[in-house]
Amino acid sequence: MAVAAIALLLFTFALWGQEFVGFETRFAVFAKEMLRLGVSIFPRTYGEPYPDYPATSTLLIWLGSLPLGEVNKFTAVLPTAMASALSLALSYRLLSGVSRQWAFVAVCFSLLTATFLAEARSISLDQMLATITLACFVLVYRDGNQTIGATRPLPWLLALFVLGFAIRGPMGIVIPVGVVCSYYALSNQWRAVFKVGLPALALLIACWFVLLHLARIEGGEDFVKDVIRMQVTGRLSGSADALPGYYYLLNSLANFALSFPAALIVSVSVLSTSLPYLQFPWLRKASTATWDPALRMAALMAAWLLLILIGLSIPETKKARYLLPAVPAMAALASYVFVDQGNKALSIVYQLLQKLLLALPALLIALVLFAQHYARKQQLGVDINAGLLLSLLAGAQLVSLLALRRTLTRARRDQIIVAVAAFAFWLSNVYLREPAELQLHSARPFVEAVEELRRVNPAPLVLYGINKDGPAIIYHVNVAGEFKPQFISQAEQLASLRYPLYLLISDKAGKSLAGASSGDAALEWPQPVWRGLFRDGAYSVYYLQRPPP
């Protein structure tokens, strides 16, 4: 409980009043539409159902927002933050049965994993799926280590699979089932693989047909086709720009640092050491010696990580956040070297990680100073509380250095160093990365100014060359009440619109439109009624009383 409570505080600190930016804007719009229109089977945008996700996660945000009557950053992130905190608590409970030292360091390594920490303070369906996957593993692991007569976990597993599907669609069943089956396979329980796998397959098919039936009720046959494309065929045959088999290995070295690079090295060492204990039929020389509990757990974590890496590399559509369900295994593997340095590889990884974590506050101080210099040089309008952050990081570095006193045991010294490093990493995320991202990608001032113009002088809003799921969603999330703009993408469409209207267009698209419409001569546009930075570029808003000549 203490782990979950502290983690929840870390994941929700200073969120109240923050602006929605990036990928989370879509889910904030879903929740706002549900609060305005009522509960639905699929989330809605512009008053229409959205096919990519069931509405379960939106429903959770809606429930948390009901008491306030509005959706803000805190209420929107709360379900993800609670799932992330529960994930850390489950990780601690799982590993503490083997080693409390390992459990503590593993929790810290989760906090030291960049994407995990960022997603825990955002709206993330994959973070919720990670918690469901870990809960499934905990169920089968505890059942496998209890005496005869213990309650079998299948009914609970199926319930978690249904919850996973309700939140994440087909991936919500496929990933937890794969992790559970990897546990049974490594534990030489091949019958259990089929006892879980076959009911899970039947459940996946049943859930899928129920979802399609609900989609048909919600939006008809065309919407059913959109659901199939967005949740299955589109993922399996997406863009081929990601290198098959290598995307997660290369992309995740930075996105999931510090855990991922260390976890890969430890996985190789652990699996090679565990080969004599595996009871696979093709391994005839299996040892009859007792498998060390810590080594066995590490081998199970390695199988978990590799299964997700390989499985997610098969579909062409790849995103870094898809790897979040592997974070508990990553953190456990990276921290394993703090309880076992039994061979040269593990010892080297331990020495490197300990020194890196010891110096991490100082490295983050250097990062803050570099960020300030870069922002001034590029004339970026970024303002952070650098004085407070630098003071806290300097204090953290001092505490780490004091931990080197000889009066402390090595285990205690490692705990302090890792905990301080995790705290310093969290500080940098909250006081450097988040403020910089919010200021660089802020759209709220622009939207509020335009909407004030429309309030004083009402007229429809037309978006030219703007994607419904891109900048339009970012505009939508900052509008109170109903938002139904018109979308156009060609100059010819301007003549068919009803005037007067407000035209929102990027400056880049405006130049292209002028050239396409009038040859070398520029269009005689009026002066924009508003101009500014919106999302990542310069945009202008024109009040047009008639089509431009």
Query: Per residue in 404-459, pLDDT tens?
Result: 887 888 999 999 999 999 999 999 999 999 999 988 888 999 999 999 999 999 99
Contacts of 548 (CB under 8 A, 6+ apart): 494, 517, 523, 524, 525
> Residue 505's closest CA among 549, 466, 543?
466
Task: Based on the fold, state whether residues 455 and 432 are members of the same structural domain.
Answer: no
Task: Based on the fold, state whether residues 14 and 125 are members of the same structural domain.
Answer: yes
Instruction: Please write down the HEC assignment for all residues of 142-192.
Output: HHHCCCCCCCCCHHHHHHHHHHHHHHHCCHHHHHHHHHHHHHHHHCCCHHH
Which pLDDT score, from 0 to 100, does residue 549 have? 66
Which pLDDT score, from 0 to 100, does residue 493 have? 84
**Helix, strand or coil for residue 532?**
strand
Which pLDDT score, from 0 to 100, does residue 64 have? 92
Question: CA 150 to CA 145: how far, in whole Å?
Answer: 9
What is the extent of the structural domain holding 501?
Answer: 444-544
Task: Based on the fold, state whether residues 433 and 466 are members of the same structural domain.
Answer: no
* pLDDT (mean) for 209-235: 88
Task: Based on the fold, state whether residues 494 and 365 are members of the same structural domain.
Answer: no
Residue 421 lies in a domain: yes
Question: CA 519 to CA 522: how far, in whole Å?
Answer: 8
Which pLDDT score, from 0 to 100, does residue 530 have? 92
What is the band of 315 on the pLDDT scale with cuts at 50, 70, 90?
confident
* pLDDT (mean) for 45-72: 91
| pLDDT above 50 (res 148) | no
Task: Based on the fold, state whether residues 129 and 181 are members of the same structural domain.
Answer: yes
Last residue of a domain, one of 307, 340, 373: 340
Task: Based on the fold, state whether residues 253 and 312 are members of the same structural domain.
Answer: yes
Asked whether the beta carbons of 236 and 315 are under 8 A apart, the reply is yes
Task: Based on the fold, state whether residues 253 and 308 are members of the same structural domain.
Answer: yes
Q: Which amino acid is at 493?
A: Q
Burial of 319 from C-beta contacts in 10 A (0-12 / 13-18 / 19+): middle
What is the band of 378 on the pLDDT scale with cuts at 50, 70, 90?
confident
CA distances for 489 relative to 228, 478, 484, 486, 505, angstroms: 26, 23, 16, 10, 10
Q: Which long-range contacts (CB under 8 A, 24 or more apart) does 242-247 make?
A: 242/316, 242/317, 242/318, 244/313, 244/314, 244/316, 245/313, 246/313, 247/313, 247/318
Which pLDDT score, from 0 to 100, does residue 152 have? 74
DSSP string across 239-298: -TTSPTTTHHHHHHHHHTTTHHHHHHHHHHHHHHHHGGG---TT-TT---SPPPHHHHHH
Task: Based on the fold, state whether residues 304 and 236 are members of the same structural domain.
Answer: yes
Q: Would you put residue 493 in left (φ > 0), alpha (ψ -120 to 50) or beta?
A: alpha
Which pLDDT score, from 0 to 100, does residue 190 have? 86
Last residue of a domain, one of 286, 311, 340: 340
Task: Based on the fold, state whether residues 335 and 291 are members of the same structural domain.
Answer: yes
Q: Which amino acid is at 229?
A: R
Tokens of 227: 């659901």
pLDDT tens digits for range 251-310: 778 889 899 999 999 999 998 888 777 766 555 455 545 778 899 999 999 999 999 998
- Domain tally for the chain? 3
* pLDDT (mean) for 468-484: 89
| pLDDT above 50 (res 83) | yes
Instruction: Please write down the HEC assignment for all residues of 206-238.
Output: HHHHHHHHHHHHHHHHHHHHHHHHHHHHHHHCC
Burial of 425 from C-beta contacts in 10 A (0-12 / 13-18 / 19+): buried
Q: Would you put residue 538 in left (φ > 0), alpha (ψ -120 to 50) or beta?
A: beta
Contacts of 271 (CB under 8 A, 6+ apart): 299, 302, 303
Question: CA 364 to CA 262: how far, in whole Å?
Answer: 20
Tokens of 338: 């703090």
> Residue 31's closest CA among 528, 477, 424?
477
pLDDT tens digits for range 324-342: 999 999 999 999 999 988 8
Last residue of a domain, one of 293, 311, 340: 340
Which pLDDT score, from 0 to 100, does residue 240 have? 47
Residue 430 lies in a domain: yes
| pLDDT above 50 (res 521) | no
Q: For residue 52, count other CB atoms closer than 10 A to its CB.
A: 17
Question: CA 136 to CA 175: how far, in whole Å?
Answer: 10
Asked whether the beta carbons of 462 and 486 are under 8 A apart, the reply is yes
DSSP string across 490-531: SGGGGGGS-SSEEEEEEHHHHHHHHHHHHTTSPP-PPPPSEE
Of residues 469 and 155, more confidence is placed in 155
Question: CA 119 to CA 124: how far, in whole Å?
Answer: 6
Task: Based on the fold, state whether residues 150 and 135 are members of the same structural domain.
Answer: yes
Residue 524 lies in a domain: yes
Instruction: Please write down the HEC assignment for all residues of 81-112.
Output: HHHHHHHHHHHHHHHHCCCHHHHHHHHHHHHC
Task: Based on the fold, state whether residues 405 and 451 are members of the same structural domain.
Answer: no
| pLDDT above 60 (res 146) | no
Task: Based on the fold, state whether residues 17 and 101 are members of the same structural domain.
Answer: yes
* pLDDT (mean) for 455-479: 91
First vs last C-alpha separation in the chain: 67
Of residues 19 and 244, more confidence is placed in 19
| Structure-token match 């229409």, residue found | 48
* pLDDT (mean) for 90-104: 95
Residue 549 lies in a domain: no
Mean pLDDT of the chain: 88
| Structure-token match 């499985």, residue found | 311
Which pLDDT score, from 0 to 100, does residue 147 have? 41
Question: CA 160 to CA 132: how far, in whole Å?
Answer: 6
